[in-house]
Structure 1
Amino acid sequence: MPDIRKLVGSKIRDYRKRKGLSQDQLGEVCGFHFSYIGGVERGERNISLENISKIADALHVEPKMFFNFDEPFLTPLPEEKELALEELMAILITKEATYIRMTKNILLEIFDTFPQK
């Protein structure tokens, strides 16, 4: 039987990376040290339900998503794309929600004007 801590930790890591956050950035949003986030992701920590909830809130997912083992893990992004998303996230993370929404709307307009082939 697989270790539940490693399964949940892998899901947390997957969602964190998809959001373009470093362990340090996620820890800052949740109020945890980056080493705690690393320990959780590696399955070394027996995380409490309260802390699962805090991490889920920070990642904007339902806590139950960390326990959905039937659904395969998200496909990893190519390294170049992941780095570009991390750069964009580093810029946006410091901005207010209004500016983030404005940025999203601008991007949608660009993508509508210049669709990918």
Structure 2
Amino acid sequence: MDKEILKLVGIRIRTLRKERGLSQEALGERGGFHFSYIGQIERGEKNVSLLNLHKIAEALEVNLIQLFAYLDEDFMVTSSESDIRDIVGLLRTANDEKIRLAKNVLRELL
């Protein structure tokens, strides 16, 4: 049971990495790690330090807290959260001009 948190965080890191289309090697390069270390983290084999988690979060371009936003039986994603995730996904692929336009539209709507 003690190592369950390592597995959950590792799965979350793998999910975020794959969502961004990164290989373990690419994520490792961005964070300054060897790709095999990334693999060990993702499999829950390494008890990664907070400093290294911070580097991984930066390499994934997410907040540190997002590494702990893994799903378990007690967590439900609301439709609003799902919609927000979809919007962020769309914005990640948009060019700068479209992002500014989307920001202005949202500002007017909200």
Deviant stretches of 4+, over 6 Å? none
Q: Distance in 2 between matches of 1:105 and 1:24?
A: 26
| Unpaired runs of at least 5, structure 2 | 78-91, 99-110
| Unpaired runs of at least 5, structure 1 | 73-100, 109-117
Residue of structure 2 equivalent to 1:15: 16
Bigger drift between 2-11 and 43-52 goes to: 2-11
RMSD (CA atoms)? 2.5
* 1:47 aligned partner, one-letter code: V
> Which SS does the other structure have where 1:43 is aligned?
coil
1:1-117 to 2 correspondence within 5 Å? 1=1, 3-69=4-70, 70=75, 104-105=94-95
Per-residue CA distance 1:1-36 (angstroms, 9 max, x = gap): 471000000000000000000000000010100000
**Shift in Å, 1:60:** 0.8
Instruction: Calculate the TM-score normalised by the size of structure 2.
Output: 0.63
**Shift in Å, 1:105:** 2.7
Q: Distance in 1 between matches of 2:52 and 2:46?
A: 11
Counterparts in 2 of 1:17 and 1:34: CA distance versus 1, 3 Å: same
**Shift in Å, 1:68:** 1.9
Quick one: percent identity of the two aligned structures? 55
* 1:21 aligned partner, one-letter code: L
Q: Distance in 2 between matches of 1:63 and 1:39?
A: 19
* 1:56 aligned partner, one-letter code: A
RCO higher in 1 or 2 (8 Å CA, sep ≥ 6)?
1
- What is the number of equivalent residue pairs in this alignment? 79
Instruction: Calculate the TM-score normalised by the size of structure 1.
Output: 0.60
